[in-house]
């Protein structure tokens, strides 16, 4: 009886140890995957491409100041409820664009969920919150890439946090890219609302 009890304790200890190691390994893999994705976002060509798009819009003779911006939780939740889309993370990336020591605009970079993969996009703003241009910086899906086109993105120019971003009337839909169109449009609206909240202290 004592031997069986010891065996049960030993088996339980082995199982517990295995499960603990398995859980820690999975947790570590998730952390590692997120770290790699975040590093890839900044160092995997995304930042370079974003800055090229910013310079194309604002001109080559400007200065860019880059930072990771962590959103206030209250503001984030309020915007998510209004748009019916969550932010991909609790932070975004922001560039301040200056010329001759004067701020002339801002650029915000974020991700939205596509069908299976994140869509990385950029929104360039004038200082008053008017959208100058939007760009898909990195598209990872096999289909739906039409949202990368300049023509489709040109629909957002001139809009702001006061605008309607209704797909089908204000923003054109794209056959075969419904998820991407809706995700990107909601993402642009989120950043417009966010910029209006933070523009005086970004």
Q: What does each C-alpha distance from 140 to 5, 109, 121, 163 come to in angstroms? A: 55, 16, 12, 28
| Other Cβ atoms closer than 10 A to 77 | 13
* Whether residue 7 has pLDDT greater than 70: no
Q: Which residues pair with 124 in a beta bridge?
A: 107, 133
pLDDT tens across 72-93, in order?
Answer: 999 999 999 999 999 999 999 9
What pLDDT is recorded for position 199?
81
Share the mean pLDDT of the chain.
87
pTM of the model: 0.78
Q: What are residue 3's phi and psi, to 5 degrees?
A: -65, -45
Provide the token pair at 191. 């950043």
* Whether residue 114 has pLDDT greater than 80: yes
Helices 46-58 and 2-43 pack at an angle, to 10 degrees, of 30
| 24 vs 26: CA distance, rounded Å | 5
Confidence band of 172 (pLDDT split at 50, 70, 90): very high
User: What contacts 194, CB < 8 A, 6 or more positions away?
Assistant: 71, 75, 76, 79, 92, 108
Provide the token pair at 138. 């990195």
pLDDT tens across 115-171, in order?
Answer: 999 999 999 999 999 999 999 999 999 988 999 999 999 999 999 999 999 999 999
Pairwise pLDDT comparison (83 vs 23), residue with the higher score: 83
What DSSP character marks residue 118?
Answer: E
For residue 43, what is the enclosing H or E element? helix 2-43
Q: Specify the residue for token string 């400007």.
A: 62
Q: Where are the domains of the chain?
A: 1-43, 45-198
């Amino acid at each position: 009886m004592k031997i069986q009890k010891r065996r049960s304790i030993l088996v339980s200890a082995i199982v517990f140890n295995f499960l603990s190691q398995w859980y820690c390994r999975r947790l570590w893999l998730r952390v590692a995957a997120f770290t790699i994705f975040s590093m890839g976002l900044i160092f995997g060509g995304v930042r370079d491409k974003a800055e090229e798009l910013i310079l194309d819009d604002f001109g080559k003779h400007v200065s860019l100041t880059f930072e990771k911006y962590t959103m206030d939780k209250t503001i984030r939740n309020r915007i998510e409820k209004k748009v019916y889309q969550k932010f991909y993370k609790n932070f975004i990336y922001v560039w301040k664009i200056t010329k001759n020591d004067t701020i002339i605009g801002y650029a915000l970079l974020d991700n939205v969920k596509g069908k299976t993969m994140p869509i990385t996009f950029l929104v360039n703003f004038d200082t008053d919150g008017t959208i100058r241009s939007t760009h898909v910086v990195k598209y990872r899906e096999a289909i739906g890439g039409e949202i990368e086109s300049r023509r489709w993105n040109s629909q957002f120019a001139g809009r702001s946090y006061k605008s309607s971003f209704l797909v089908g009337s204000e923003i054109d839909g794209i056959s075969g890219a419904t998820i991407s169109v809706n995700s990107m449009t909601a993402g642009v609206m989120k950043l417009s609302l966010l910029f209006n909240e933070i523009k005086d202290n970004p």
